[in-house]
Amino acid sequence: MIVDCHTHIFPEKIAPKVMQMNRRNLGLEPYGAGTTPDLLAYMDTAGIDYAVAFGVAPEGQFVRATNDWLIAQADARLLLFGTITPDFADWAAEIDRIKTAGVMGIKFNPLFQDIRPDDRDMYPIYEKLTQEGMFVFFHAGKGSGEETGDAVRSTPARLRRLHRDHPDLQLLCAHFGGSGMLEEVLTHLAGTEVYLDTSQTPTCKDLDIKVINDLIRRHGTERILYATDYPWARQGGAFGWEYEWLDRLDLSQEDRECILGGNAQRLFNL
């Protein structure tokens, strides 16, 4: 089994605008259309059994519409993660509503939602999500324009504080826990109970093999999740598939299978 634990989908009418916006503002070059049909086609081509699919609203006025659209994308192969923002007043009722509709968790992206994982005004939301047994998935690490200091919203240290303050929250962190900040990941997150995904834009093949081997060894393969960041994952055709990169790591076959899908299968009860 292969589970891609990090993908993004958008309504077909606005997906091209989102691709252009992310290309312009974040320097992200899309390698897919970012639509539900295109995601499912990628999964068929790549041999992906399930995918975690995110729908993320930039601010409160778009929360309900984004979740409504995401719920309408229900497919047996998609694990849906919806959206909540701290400026959306009725967030508790919205969490109840989307959970009833089959949404498994919430994706937070501080790059454009302008939040930090350890913001105190987020804590009631985390408490509600913990109570409901839902997952929280965070973008982790640097983004375009976030180079040093407090400009980096979602640092490994902030994510560690979130985990410390909410140890029962089912927390998943993208990009090995910190894009461009792997030394900080080793300091703050390695060995904790949070899950780290393997996504790296545009490709995990750019990562230092020695650093990743050390990180996986110290964190434990049982809490590493295969992921791509579709549609911003440079793969397929001449590029090859992201999961082929795992063969370059110091992993047993059992470890590789756990990362590719076994861990997600256990975590999400697939």
d(CA 215, CA 32): 29
The confidence score (pLDDT) of residue 111 equals: 85
The conformation of residue 98, written as its DSSP 8-state character, comes to H
The confidence score (pLDDT) of residue 267 equals: 98
The confidence score (pLDDT) of residue 100 equals: 98
Alpha-carbon Rg for the chain, nearest whole angstrom, is 17
d(CA 45, CA 162): 37
The confidence score (pLDDT) of residue 23 equals: 86
Residue 270: C-alpha distances to residues 114, 126, 212, 253, 262 (Å): 33, 24, 27, 21, 9
The confidence score (pLDDT) of residue 148 equals: 65
Per DSSP, the three-state class of 181 is coil
The confidence score (pLDDT) of residue 149 equals: 67
> Mean pLDDT, 10 residues at a time, over the chain (270 residues)?
97 92 84 97 97 95 97 98 94 98 97 90 97 97 70 92 98 96 97 97 94 97 98 92 96 98 98
Phi, psi of 171, deg, nearest 5: -105, 130
The confidence score (pLDDT) of residue 145 equals: 58
d(CA 4, CA 264): 9
Q: Residue 121's CB: how many other CB atoms inside 10 A?
A: 10
Chain-centroid distance, C-alpha 69: 19
Q: Going from the N-terminus, what domains does the chain have, and what CATH number goes with each?
A: 3-267 (3.20.20.140)
pTM to 2 decimals?
A: 0.96
